Amino acid sequence: MDDATGTGPLSGMRVVELAAIGPVPHACMMLADLGAEVIRVDRPDSTRAYATWHRILDRGRHSVTLDLKTPHGVAGLLRLAQDADVLVEGFRPGVAERLGIGPDICRARHPGLVYARMTGWGQSGPLAQHPGHDINYIALSGALHAIGEPGGPPVAPLNLLGDFAGGGMLLVCGILAALWERQRSGLGQTVDTAIVDGTASLLAMLLAMTSGGSWHERRGHNLLDGGAPFYTVYACADGRHIAVGALEEQFYTALLQGLGLDPSTLPHRDDPANWPALKAAFAARFSRRTRDDWAAHFENTEACVTPVLSLTEAPAHPHLRARGTYTETGPAPAPRFDRTPAAPPPPPDPGRPPHQAAARP
- Mean confidence (pLDDT) of the chain: 92
pLDDT tens per residue, range 231-270: 999 999 999 999 999 999 999 999 999 999 999 999 999 9
Domain ranges of the chain: 14-202, 231-235+241-307
CA separation (Å) from 334 to 5, 49, 158, 208, 226?
A: 17, 25, 21, 29, 28
Residue 151 confidence (pLDDT) above 80: yes
Name 31's Cβ contacts closer than 8 Å, sequence gap at least 6. Answer: 10, 13, 15, 38, 86, 172, 175
Residue 1 confidence (pLDDT) above 50: no
| CA 80/CA 90 separation, integer angstroms | 17
Residues with active-site annotation: 133, 163
Residue 287 confidence (pLDDT) above 90: yes
In percent, the amount of the chain with pLDDT more than 90 equals 86
Q: Which residues of 71-105 are buried (b: 16+ CB within 10 A; e: fewer)?
A: eebbebbbebbeebbbbbbbbebeebeebbbbbeb
| CA 38/CA 85 separation, integer angstroms | 10
Q: Are 236 and 289 in contact (CB under 8 A)?
A: yes
Q: How many angstroms from the chain centroid is the CA of residue 128? A: 22
Per-residue pLDDT averaged across 53-59, rounded? Answer: 86
Q: pLDDT tier at 226 (50, 70, 90 boundaries)? A: very high
The whole-number pLDDT of residue 350 equals: 62
Per-residue pLDDT averaged across 122-147, rounded? Answer: 97
Which of 210-214, 328-332, 337-341, 356-360 is the least confident region?
356-360
| CA 277/CA 82 separation, integer angstroms | 65
What architecture (CATH level 2) is domain 14-202? Answer: 3-Layer(aba) Sandwich (3.40)
Which of 80-94, 224-238, 325-339 is the least confident region?
325-339
The CATH superfamily of 231-235+241-307 is formyl-coa transferase, domain 3 (3.30.1540.10)
Taking the whole predicted model, whether its pTM rises above 0.95 is answered as no
Which of 41-45, 151-155, 283-287 is the least confident region?
41-45
pLDDT tens per residue, range 345-357: 666 666 555 443 3
Q: Are 24 and 61 in contact (CB under 8 A)?
A: no
The whole-number pLDDT of residue 44 equals: 87
Residue 361 confidence (pLDDT) above 50: no
> Which H/E stretch holds residue 138?
helix 134-141
Per-residue pLDDT averaged across 33-47, rounded? Answer: 88
61-65 and 231-235 beta bridge pairing: unpaired
The whole-number pLDDT of residue 232 equals: 98
Helices 195-202 and 170-185, axial angle in degrees (round to 10)? 100
Name 240's Cβ contacts closer than 8 Å, sequence gap at least 6. Answer: 290, 291, 292, 307, 308
